[in-house]
Chains A and B, each alone.
Chain A
Amino acid sequence: MLAYTAKRLLTLIPTLLAASILVFLFVHLIPGDPAAILLGDTATPEEVAQLSAEMGFDRPLYVQYFIWLGNVLQGDLGTSIFFRQPVLSVIGSGAETSILLASMTMIWIILIGLPIGILSATKQGTWIDQITSSGAMLAASIPTFWLGLYLIMIFSVTLGWFPSSGFPSLSDHGGITNLRYLLLPSLTLAAPNAALIVRLVRASMLDVSREDHVRTARAKGLHPTRVAIKHIFRNALIAVAAAFGFTFAALISEAVVTETVFSLPGIGRLVVQSILRRDYPVIQGVILVIVVLYMVVNLAVDLAYARLDPRVSLK
């Protein structure tokens, strides 16, 4: 497994290089000049050109790319044009929120999605199955911005139980109790994702339940719960594991709507705002980090397959 992991990690290098070229070109070829945004509406074209040159954007694109790449190889993602802070520090600040939000959401998904999915599969065709399946469809269909705003109206404005928005760092005033800021956003994000997991667990378990080894287990007289959990659910987990991995990665990089509604300083909102501001170093840095994240998740899912299914060999 170690050799396999090392080999997979090595394949990251050409992929990252290709991604870096694509990201750099994409970012620099869209119209818009960060100098113009910095200086505002009253700046003249001459003033914008002067500042643009001071920031090095008048150099040929390939020169800018190699300077940036050279710095990245030394672990320096550059300095944010907008925040005047190292890109790593800007991403780090967003990553704290995104990782905590994604983790809390995953907890909800596991707590809600797995039991209901198992229940739905084991009670296939009954009224319980119909209610859980309909509930999952409803949860998957609700737009997150709508659900988020309603949760704010009920639990923040009316009941005053939870903060409406924002997320102070865990190192800020409040410490660990600042996690309460993420309760409503994580529930908002969990609703559609848990619904998908319910559907997936149900479908996978029904597939597995028709296999020979399950029939054998039942024929041996094993308790139905033991059959459901040990023989069906464990095998169904192979498909679910991949979904968990990519859901986690997506929760970190694509939670922009929820982050906007709850005003969370996460990665998704950071990348959108940075595109609007043409903060090239931050856009490049964040996208590179997201690419790495997806590749690592992909690898982790493959390793998990081997763990869950002894028939899978890693070569």
Chain B
Amino acid sequence: MKLKIWMKSALAVGALMTLTSGAYADGMLRYATVGEPPSLDQQVVTSDLATTIAHHMFEGLYTFNASNAPVPLLASGETVSADGKTIVIALREGVKFHNGQAMTSADVLASLQRWGEFGSRGSLIFDHVDSVEASGDYEITINLKEPFGPWKNLMAFINGGPAIYPASVMEGATKEPISPDQYIGTGPYKFNEWEANRYVELVRFDGYISPEGAADGYGGERATNFDTLRFIPVSDVGTRVAGVRAGDYDYAESIPGDLFADLDADTGVKTMLNGGPIFGLVFLNSSDGPLKENFALRRAIQTAIDKTPALQVAIGPEGLWRANGSFAPEGSVWATKAGTENYSRGDAEAAKAMAAEAGYDGQPIKFMVSTNYPFHYDSAIVYTKQLAQAGFNIDLQVYDWATLIEKRAQPDQWDLFFTHHGFVPDPILISVMNDNYPGWWATPEKKALKDRFTASSDPSERQKIWAELQALIYEQVPTMKTGDVYTYNIASPKLKGLGKQTLIWPSFWNVSK
């Protein structure tokens, strides 16, 4: 008798224990992330992972449509004066924050002011701003010192961009990211909980007022079909893949290239190519060391490198990379071939001769790379070998990412370092355009072209100036683009409404399962 009771109990416990996570209702989207974001404060943090989560909560005045053109989001439209110096932005009425408070121009003004002073990308536009004022309850006026062409692109780029918070949250906010209890936005989902090491959870905002019009990229209607979005850190890629296959996650990001063929053929998962490629960059030190002002020596280094073998080794399948010298990807309005004949010559003999002519006498060239990003390290190994074949004495220094970013801020610590860049809709956002970014490229030739580039509002003129700037990059070599990398994510086939590929960051409004 006792044995029977024990057996029944064991069966009951076993049944309970084998209940898989299907216990979660279809109302929850479970997204396996590579890690945890440093903060979700969009104004000061530029982590892509942070934006992937936070752009469901925070909105800006503009966003991008599927063609990467800026379209209104919290704005309803704008007028720009004939001289291009006064921009009047009309705000949508009836928009509410997650705390129930109505959004007005006071909130927008406070948000823009904090972003202008402390935001990661705020100074790019605010260096050209004379004043910003709330010219009505639902109207903001920006007075520029001179015309500034990329203003709307910068306003639409939410990563490190002008997310709109309540004025009360912005009061006293500085460079330090705001705390989770202040995550109050206007987006379709609101912040619920951040369980350290477990998940970040957002829940549907019932008071959300969606923009009108058909969904187009990040623009248009935003329907909230999920009750909850849960972002779960799963650092091991094998576990992310197995989790989606087992039905424990609905979506998983950053899957390595060598798994692409298998996963693409697997009907149990859906591969999602990211439309905007990332690209590797090797920065050269313009401030200190043997490469400072020695453009000829930099060109010799550039000439020694053939980018294709590194992409083959580091990324794998050819569908996931392009040996593309244009800083903007194929299909972008900013794509240009200017200067790209020097993108990937891989000519060791020519490089050796150029280095000798530039006065290179074999002194060590410190090349910093991090193992935190395998594709950085794999590429750097290939480049080091190619540079050695051209006679360069490369001192490859391998660090963890935290150490590398501290060392790269010290000009006497390095000559080359490897990093990568996310897709950006306007070249002004590429880090090499920032004079203060490590590498510190700030030559008079750059300044002259950059001033013309930002002053123009004419799209075709700006494209021509950008081509000149790209040619200058290949001439002065402040950085070397390594190639376009199309990262991809995987999703459960049950998810509907994802589209064929993601834009810059995956979004889950208008998605259901």
User: Which A residues have a C-beta under 8 Å from some C-beta of B?
Assistant: 30-33, 36-48, 50-51, 54-55, 80, 82-85, 89-90, 93-94, 149, 152-153, 156-157, 160-169, 173-174, 177, 179-180, 183, 260-263, 265-266, 269-270, 273, 276-278
Is there an interface contact between B242 and A164, defined as CB atoms closer than 8 Å?
yes
B residues less than 8 Å from A162 (CB atoms): 17-18, 20
- A-B interface, 3 closest residue pairs, ranked by CB to CB distance from nearest: A32-B402, A265-B197, A40-B46
**Contact A94/B197 with A42-B437, A162-B18 known, Cβ cut-off 8 Å:** yes
What is the interface size of chain B, counting residues whose CB is below 8 A from a CB of the partner?
61
- A32 and B401 alpha carbons, distance in the complex (Å): 8
B residues less than 8 Å from A33 (CB atoms): 402, 405-406
Please give the distance in Å from B280's CB to the nearest CB on chain A: 13
**Contact A260/B236 with A36-B405, A40-B120 known, Cβ cut-off 8 Å:** yes
B245 lies within 8 A of chain A by Cβ: yes
Q: Fill in one digit per residue for B34-54: 1 if any A CB lies within 8 Å of its CB, else 0.
A: 011011000011110000000
Please give the distance in Å from B36's CB to the nearest CB on chain A: 7
- A31 and B246 alpha carbons, distance in the complex (Å): 40
Q: Of the candidates A31, A47, A179, A262, which one forms a contact with B406 in the assembled complex, judged by CB atoms under 8 Å apart?
A: A31
Q: Fill in one digit per residue for B55-97: 1 if any A CB lies within 8 Å of its CB, else 0.
A: 0000000000000000000000000000000000000000000
Show 27 A/B contacts (Cβ-Cβ < 8 Å), sorted by A: A32-B402, A32-B406, A33-B402, A36-B402, A36-B405, A36-B406, A39-B120, A41-B421, A42-B121, A42-B160, A45-B409, A90-B196, A93-B196, A93-B197, A149-B238, A153-B242, A156-B248, A163-B246, A163-B248, A166-B248, A180-B18, A260-B235, A260-B236, A263-B32, A263-B233, A265-B197, A269-B235
Please give the distance in Å from A186's CB to the nearest CB on chain B: 12
Is there an interface contact between A157 and B242, defined as CB atoms closer than 8 Å?
yes
| Stretch in contact with the other chain, from B148-156, B172-180, B443-451, B487-495 | B172-180
B400 lies within 8 A of chain A by Cβ: yes
- Name B219-261 residues within 8 Å CB distance of A: 232-236, 238-239, 242-243, 245-248
Is there an interface contact between B175 and A47, defined as CB atoms closer than 8 Å?
yes
Is there an interface contact between B197 and A269, defined as CB atoms closer than 8 Å?
yes
**Chain B, residue nearest A272 (CB):** B235
Q: Fill in one digit per residue for B173-207: 1 if any A CB lies within 8 Å of its CB, else 0.
A: 01111011000000000000011111000000000
Is there an interface contact between A276 and B402, defined as CB atoms closer than 8 Å?
yes
Is there an interface contact between B17 and A179, defined as CB atoms closer than 8 Å?
yes
Is there an interface contact between A152 and B242, defined as CB atoms closer than 8 Å?
yes
Please give the distance in Å from A129's CB to the nearest CB on chain B: 30
Q: Of the candidates B17, B232, B403, which one forms a contact with A166 in the assembled complex, judged by CB atoms under 8 Å apart?
A: B232
Q: Of the candidates A32, A94, A161, which one forms a contact with B20 in the assembled complex, judged by CB atoms under 8 Å apart?
A: A161
- A21 and B239 alpha carbons, distance in the complex (Å): 37
Is there an interface contact between A180 and B176, defined as CB atoms closer than 8 Å?
no
Is there an interface contact between A37 and B405, defined as CB atoms closer than 8 Å?
yes
- A52 and B247 alpha carbons, distance in the complex (Å): 42
- A30 and B400 alpha carbons, distance in the complex (Å): 11
Given contacts A149-B242, A180-B19, 12 further A-B contacts (CB under 8 A): A37-B38, A41-B421, A42-B46, A82-B38, A83-B194, A149-B238, A152-B239, A156-B248, A162-B17, A164-B239, A262-B239, A276-B400
Q: Of the candidates A31, A174, A261, which one forms a contact with B402 in the assembled complex, judged by CB atoms under 8 Å apart?
A: A31
B265 lies within 8 A of chain A by Cβ: no
- A84 and B239 alpha carbons, distance in the complex (Å): 27
**Chain B, residue nearest A174 (CB):** B23
Please give the distance in Å from A211's CB to the nearest CB on chain B: 38
Q: Of the candidates A164, A169, A276, A277, which one forms a contact with B198 in the assembled complex, judged by CB atoms under 8 Å apart?
A: A169
Is there an interface contact between A40 and B45, defined as CB atoms closer than 8 Å?
yes
B residues less than 8 Å from A277 (CB atoms): 38, 402
Is there an interface contact between A54 and B402, defined as CB atoms closer than 8 Å?
no
B residues less than 8 Å from A39 (CB atoms): 38, 44-46, 120, 175
B residues less than 8 Å from A43 (CB atoms): 46, 120
Is there an interface contact between B406 and A273, defined as CB atoms closer than 8 Å?
no
Is there an interface contact between B403 and A32, defined as CB atoms closer than 8 Å?
yes
- Name B319-333 residues within 8 Å CB distance of A: none
**Chain A, residue nearest B21 (CB):** A163
- Name B402-420 residues within 8 Å CB distance of A: 402-403, 405-407, 409, 419
Q: Of the candidates B17, B120, B403, which one forms a contact with A183 in the assembled complex, judged by CB atoms under 8 Å apart?
A: B17
